[in-house]
């Protein structure tokens, strides 16, 4: 089937008509001169590059995959040349500071770029996906010497970066990390240990790979507080190679184009990033950026699956739709229409939420008012775990639903749809499993202050909503979640296990409420575009098939509360 096609006009409509991005940029000094026309131009060029260079490599990436031999990894045919065009075209540097070789554009344009890349070629996107997080981590926590040596190369994408956390005995529980860092007289450290599941830990895309490694110095406290972060390059500034070896790559269900590496550090020389014992604080600068990117991956993957299913449904005839006299196109059958419109509702509303979060990232960095910066930081902290979990969940389950549109043809490789199902599954696991995202939301964000800030935020979201049907539904859902929260908080104080049992239901309810809020933003502006019917069908699906999940999730939680016990 046809390769993925980024529809940039839809993204531009959301960015400008729905969110009014250019008016928000005018309040931020670095972006005051950026208008809708420039954003549209950048997005259009990005879409062309993704469609013409990256998308055509998706199939070969899956079928050939990355290859390991004697410690070296060869990427699938065409990937190295595509990556050269990618970084030389300035795409990794889109949102980096011009002082470091970047273009100084807003974060939301980078977010849209990576969403399109993920839809076009998930495997390719994994290699540069951590670059901006590594850039931010080094910019905030690196020494001046490290910045001088590595910051611009990472910002521009000339060199790639990895995040080396996981070990065979230490997955989500990073307190179990045992990799050692032995201090040296010259201020460096010798790093020894093994890391697993390292995306693009070895590859032939770039001349150098900068590894950011969690390790423990001698005498450091046990657990997370004893971890420090170290920068260990593949090649040192003098050109010599470090003692870092790729011992193999994983055989995976999907994502074949991305080498998932087992890395060994044998007294590899590295340098500390940030303060001793501050490894997790420094690493989470990178991790939070990665979680937003994974949420965008979910949207991109779902969009790619929807495109294939929608195209197939418009050419395949089977049986008669209600009221038809002859065999109908699949798109005319209500069951298939429900599947397709539901995925598009997730994509449309998800984009509103993701793009607004990316706008808030820049507001948090650049707004002149400290209170507004704090408000933006709060927004990002609350929405990131919701988006990461909800969007990746829907990417996998929605791709599976899209496969259903193909019937038996979807289960064979020729259709291409089954690759999206396989590739999407891992997004629910990496960069913090979706269960961890739910716990982060409920335990760390809601329960931490008794739900006060969360409930205030829900009230603020509900207040400016208009009088449309979807706005009324969004208001009702936000208020329902707000009303449930104090009762849940009280119950969680009495039952230590309760928040971990219902966290997933709570996050799902929050996701639905936020999707309704986002949908109401689209509804308020859809008639102003040249194709209102394009937006109204998914909005109707949002009301019919997605919104009813919130009262169900709230009922599950309420049933678990002490007052509901028999």
Inter-residue long-range contacts of 318-325, CB under 8 Å, 24+ positions, other chains counted:
318/407
Rounded CA-CA distance 20/12 in Å is: 10
Say if residues 410 and 330 touch (Cβ distance below 8 Å): no
Q: Which of 110, 360, 418, 431 is catalytic?
A: 431
Structure tokens at 142: 């690196």
Parallel/antiparallel/unpaired status of strands 189-199 and 260-273: antiparallel
Helical (H) or strand (E) element with 292: helix 279-313
HSE at residue 125, side-chain half, CA atoms within 13 A, is 28
Q: What are phi and psi of 223, to 5 degrees?
A: 85, -170
Rounded CA-CA distance 537/352 in Å is: 17
Picking from 361, 354, 224, 338, the residue whose alpha carbon sits closest to that of residue 283 is 224
Q: E-strand spans in 94-243? A: 160-164, 180-183, 189-199, 209-216, 227-233
Cβ contacts of 50 within 8 Å, gap of 6 or more: 4, 6, 113, 116, 117, 120
Rounded CA-CA distance 139/231 in Å is: 13
Parallel/antiparallel/unpaired status of strands 180-183 and 260-273: unpaired
Please confirm, yes or no, whether 332 is among the known catalytic residues.
Answer: no
SS3 state at 81: helix
Residues belonging to the active site: 431
């Amino acid at each position: 089937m046809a390769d993925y096609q980024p529809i940039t006009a839809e993204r531009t409509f959301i960015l400008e008509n729905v969110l009014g991005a250019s008016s928000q940029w005018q309040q931020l000094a670095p972006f005051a001169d950026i208008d809708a026309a420039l954003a549209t131009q950048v997005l259009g060029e990005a879409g062309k590059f993704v469609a013409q260079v990256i998308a055509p490599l998706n199939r070969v990436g899956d079928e050939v995959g990355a290859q390991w031999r004697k410690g070296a990894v060869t990427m699938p045919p065409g990937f190295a040349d595509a990556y050269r065009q990618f970084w030389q075209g300035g795409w990794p540097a889109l949102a980096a500071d011009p002082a470091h070789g970047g273009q100084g554009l807003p974060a939301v344009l980078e977010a849209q770029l990576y969403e399109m890349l993920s839809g076009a070629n998930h495997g390719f996107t994994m290699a540069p996906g951590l670059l901006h997080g590594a850039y931010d981590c080094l910019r905030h926590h690196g020494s001046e010497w490290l910045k001088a040596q590595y910051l611009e190369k990472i910002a521009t994408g000339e060199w790639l970066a990895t995040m080396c956390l996981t070990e065979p005995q230490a997955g989500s529980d990073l307190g179990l990390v045992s990799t050692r860092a032995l201090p040296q007289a010259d201020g460096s450290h010798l790093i020894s240990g093994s890391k697993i599941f390292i995306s693009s830990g070895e590859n032939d895309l770039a001349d150098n790979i900068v590894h950011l490694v969690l390790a423990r110095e001698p005498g450091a406290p046990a657990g997370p507080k004893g971890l420090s972060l170290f920068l260990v390059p593949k090649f040192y500034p003098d050109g010599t190679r470090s003692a870092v070896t790729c011992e193999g790559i994983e055989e995976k269900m999907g994502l074949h184009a991305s080498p998932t590496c087992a890395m060994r550090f044998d007294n590899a020389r590295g340098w500390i990033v940030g303060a001793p014992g501050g490894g997790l604080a420094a690493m989470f600068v990178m991790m939070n950026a990665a979680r937003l990117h994974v949420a965008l991956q979910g949207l991109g993957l779902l969009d790619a699956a929807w495109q294939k299913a929608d195209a197939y449904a418009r050419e395949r005839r089977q049986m008669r739709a209600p009221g038809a006299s002859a065999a109908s196109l699949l798109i005319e059958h209500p069951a298939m229409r429900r599947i397709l419109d539901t995925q598009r509702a997730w994509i449309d509303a998800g984009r509103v939420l993701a793009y607004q979060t990316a706008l808030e990232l820049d507001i948090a960095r650049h707004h002149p008012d400290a209170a507004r910066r704090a408000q933006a930081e709060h927004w990002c902290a609350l929405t990131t775990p919701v988006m990461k979990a909800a969007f990746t969940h829907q990417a996998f389950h929605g791709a599976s639903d899209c496969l259903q549109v193909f019937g038996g043809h979807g289960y064979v490789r020729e259709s291409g749809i089954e690759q999206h199902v396989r590739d999407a599954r891992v997004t629910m696991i990496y960069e913090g499993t979706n269960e961890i995202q739910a716990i982060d939301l409920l335990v760390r964000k809601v329960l931490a202050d008794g739900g006060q800030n969360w409930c205030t935020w829900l009230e603020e979201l509900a207040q400016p909503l208009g009088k449309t049907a979807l706005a009324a539904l969004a208001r009702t859902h936000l208020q329902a979640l707000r009303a449930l929260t104090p009762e849940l908080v009280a119950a969680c104080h009495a039952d230590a296990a309760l928040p971990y049992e219902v966290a997933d239901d709570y996050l799902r309810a929050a996701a639905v409420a936020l999707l309704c809020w986002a949908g109401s933003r689209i509804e308020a502006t859809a008639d102003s575009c040249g194709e209102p019917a394009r937006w109204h069908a998914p909005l109707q699906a949002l009301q019919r098939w997605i919104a009813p999940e919130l009262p169900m999730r709230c009922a599950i939680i309420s049933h678990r509360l002490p007052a509901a016990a028999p």
